[in-house]
Amino acid sequence: MTEKEKMLQGMIYDANNDQQLMEERLAAKTLCYQYNHLAPAETVERKALIQQLFKQTGESFWIEPSFYCDYGYNITIGENFYANHNLVVLDGGAVTFGDNVFIAPNCGFYTAGHPLDVMQRNAGLEYGYPITVGNNVWIGGNVCVMPGVTIGDNTVIGAGSVVTKDIPAGVVAVGNPCRVLREITEQDKVQYSTT
């Protein structure tokens, strides 16, 4: 079994010494570099680079530079996806975003983790557990989502949160560690009424 096959199956794998994975990371980081250095008006070129990098995209999406990822081919974004500046996705494991996901600046989605044992960690071993973000999710600024987390549909994650465990659908959650504050209710529909 190759190190890439181990990575894709959520097993412990050698990320730092495997030639194939090192080359794939270099290719992804080269595309990220190109993306981050395009002029603001080069929107067609931006979209094409993301579609080349990611496993799958919707038709409508926008990612503000700077953007960084490890491989790209483990990232799927749905329709009407928006990420503000400085998004980091460490995608050794699959990272799946649903439709209508909005991500504020300086957020990270980290599938990668390392063994607690110092000998394994120093040998370059790591794991990648998938992250799933449902539909209609808003992620506040400076949020970190950790390996293996699922965030349910219609949920809001407050700024500065560190999401270490699954968050259910239809709630506001915040904190370090992130925890549910309350459900989103009908009252939330009228709070910001424009009429």
Residue 98 is predicted with a pLDDT of 98
CATH code for residues 3-191: 2.160.10.10
Chain mean position to CA 21? 19
Domain boundaries of the chain, sorted by first residue: 3-191
Known active-site residue 114: yes
pLDDT on residue 189: 79
Task: State the pLDDT at residue 172.
Answer: 98
Token duo for residue 67 = 């953007």
Q: State residue 187's pLDDT score.
A: 85
* Average pLDDT of the residues of the chain: 96
User: For residue 37, how many other CB atoms are within 10 A of its CB?
Assistant: 10
Helix (H, G, I), strand (E, B) or coil at 126: strand
Cα 90 to its chain centre, rounded Å, is 7
Which among 114, 154, 164, 175 is annotated as catalytic? 114
Q: Each residue of 53-78: pLDDT tens digit?
A: 999 999 999 999 999 999 999 999 99
DSSP 167: B
- Strand arrangement, sheet containing 67-69: 67-69, 87-90, 108-110, 144-145, 162-163
For residue 194, the model assigns a pLDDT of 66
**Run of H or E including 8:** helix 3-8
pTM above the 0.75 mark? yes
b/e 135-147 (16+ beta carbons within 10 angstroms → b): bbbbbbbbbbbbb
pLDDT band at 120 (very low <50, low <70, confident <90, very high): very high
* pLDDT of amino acid 76: 98
Q: List 167's β-bridge partners, or say none.
A: 151
pLDDT class for 193, splitting at 50, 70, 90? low
As beta bridge partners, residue 97 has 77, 133
